[in-house]
A and B are shown apart, each in its own frame.
Chain A
């Protein structure tokens, strides 16, 4: 991590031992660092120097319990019948178990009281997958240009793009919405045309790409620019054009960075609320936005809320358990995202 742009962030995670020179590894937290973050072996010392103690262990157990119970309780409640949910706590499941999938059936059904969450779950996929591909793809193009193409003002442009990291999205969201829903006109002169994207899924893609792009470029530029100069220049001398070098050389070598970034962006976009409610129309909302909406309309239907919440969390949780390494790597690299 210490290799990630020292100018901006000298040592989020100090790496004591120089890692072996692996292609492009320098700009991403190495496997060792990721492993350490997840609780593996220490990097620079033996276990004997660990700071753990018996009293400390009980603190950890207590925190783990405190951190796990809320999610577990929600899962347990979501499979209990309505009447049970309302009259007794979920822990009753341990000594008087009752099990039903009715709650899930209700929230997924399209009846007016149900919420039709299946539809909105699908919306989330329609929003998230393309938005990830577009933002990472465009970010990769820019990262290549900022790293391996020579042009005037390159460094300045890069600084401006990265500086956008500190601008809260609330600052830009309203004018961007106006741009998408009406274009820009001065008198009768149109500077930017009205694209009829109101409330369409494509508008959400554009918004997520805009807001995610500075981060994507920052992460990928660090990685792409750390690729060995000799390889790129040799290919150029052999007559390979920029597009060939980008597609055949830089992209394949950047797979670790692209994967971590894509997972990170996926989680961020899936879990977003604000962009979803502002840019997607009522029928195109992502499931997280719908969850907040039904949490108001369900009122005292607690049993439905449990299932709805879990439907919205299912995909991120699966991604989390299946691809935790990539997610952690993205988080560590993204420790600079402000």
Chain B
């Protein structure tokens, strides 16, 4: 218990010192003349932020770009060699391809699942409970989600996997689909000579994307629900008076009305998919054909210690985020014009 108390005191004292320093500096500004006093006060309010943002984000980001043009010891300028290496090596090419798969399928399915729940649960009995249950995975870390799903995908020797138990119960299912309940669905360890670490056992990446969809759909549901319930009744009623069915009202009125929301959710999900690291790290560790750009960044920089090459992965991630953000901004503007 002494450990807990000590840590608690350290934290309190640390925070008090931080507040004290800022308060003291603020007090000193009282002695400044006229216009300088106001400037001094602005400085006290903003210095922590500006220091952290510039020293902790802006300068480091620029430095990472610079380092990505150097060789791994950081001595020699190599131009675009590191980037070329990403796109020429078969395993890193698979990495980039996997990241695209994450973005495309992850985003698409998260949006579809989110819209489906927001639409079909709208106004049904038990709506709150249903949405709350679907939302639970949002509270769990992505790494934790990876662990949760390992218990679904697990294969022999132990009977832990839910998927195997389910397929075993289906009569007449071929062995290739888990009919004997012995299938290793997510390949996360070596099984003989069949799966060298970099090969791509078919389903692996998709099975990881399922985890991402499971973890992210709650967020989409919540945002879509708020948007769908914000569609004015008069619009939907008018469509129904004109003879529109529920389905038509949804596709012709609701969907166009909440377009901007869909684009925003898609953007955030796509960026989440690009940054996929936790799920990969807690399941396959990026082996067996499942690495992503964010995972390779970690593996190559921190595990293999290759500074230049690792930095190139970070920059690539940034370069891929930009078009997503730009597309989002454009779609937002267009949606704004349509509503205006």
Contacts and interface: CB of A to CB of B under 8 A. Distances in A.
A73 B151 contact: yes
B139 A63 contact: no
A252 B144 CA distance: 36
B45 A149 contact: yes
A207 B56 CA distance: 8
Given A168-B317, A171-B317, A270 B141 contact: yes
Contacts of A291: 143-144, 147, 282
B49 A46 contact: no
B194 interface: no
B159 A166 contact: no
Interface in A254-289: 267, 270-274, 278, 288-289
B133 A141 contact: no
Interface string A27-49: 00100011011111111111101
B56 A172 contact: yes
Q: Which of B230, B250, B278 has the most CB of A within 10 A?
A: B230
B78 interface: no
User: Chain A contact residues: over half helix, strand or loop, or mixed?
Assistant: helix
B175 interface: no
A166 B325 contact: yes
B50 to A, nearest CB: 7
Contact of B120 (A60, A160, A207, A306): A60
Interface stretch (A95-103, A109-117, A132-140): A132-140
B105 interface: no
Interface in B47-66: 48-50, 52-53, 55-61, 63-65
Contact of B60 (A57, A68, A175, A300): A175
Nearest to B11: A130
Interface string A114-153: 0000000010001001100110011101101100011100
B117 interface: yes
B232 to A, nearest CB: 5
B206 interface: no
Interface in B227-258: 227-234, 236-237, 240, 246, 249-250, 254, 257-258
Nearest to B298: A274
Contacts of B218: 67
Interface of B is mostly: helix
B45 A175 contact: no
A273 B277 contact: yes
Interface string B244-278: 00100110001001101100110110010011011
B61 A273 contact: no
Q: Which of B159, B225, B318 has the most CB of A within 10 A?
A: B225
A150 B317 CA distance: 37
B19 to A, nearest CB: 8
Contacts of A202: 14
B41 interface: yes
B132 interface: yes
A37 B141 CA distance: 22
Contact of A331 (B219, B254, B267, B311): B219
Contacts of B4: 122
A168 B318 contact: yes
B160 A89 contact: yes
Contacts of A249: none
Interface string B306-323: 010011011101100110
A271 B141 contact: yes
A133 B19 CA distance: 11
Interface stretch (B79-87, B90-98, B122-130): B122-130
B335 interface: yes
B42 to A, nearest CB: 5
Contacts of A37: 222-223, 225-226, 229
25 contacts: A13-B226, A39-B121, A43-B230, A44-B232, A53-B120, A59-B116, A60-B116, A74-B151, A129-B11, A139-B49, A171-B315, A171-B317, A173-B314, A175-B67, A176-B60, A179-B60, A213-B49, A292-B143, A295-B147, A302-B158, A306-B151, A313-B144, A320-B139, A332-B222, A335-B264
Going nearest first, the 7 A-B pairs with the smallest beta carbon separation are A50-B123, A45-B233, A56-B120, A210-B56, A175-B60, A271-B141, A320-B139
Given A36-B229, A39-B128, 6 more contacts: A38-B128, A60-B130, A174-B311, A291-B143, A309-B144, A316-B141
Interface of A: 1, 9-16, 29, 33-34, 36-47, 49-53, 56-57, 59-61, 63-64, 67-71, 73-74, 77, 85-91, 122, 126, 129-130, 133-134, 137-139, 141-142, 144-145, 149-151, 157, 160-161, 164, 166-168, 170-176, 179, 192, 202, 206-207, 209-211, 213-214, 217, 241-243, 246, 267, 270-274, 278, 288-289, 291-292, 295-296, 300, 302, 305-306, 308-309, 312-313, 316-317, 319-320, 324, 327-328, 331-332, 335-338
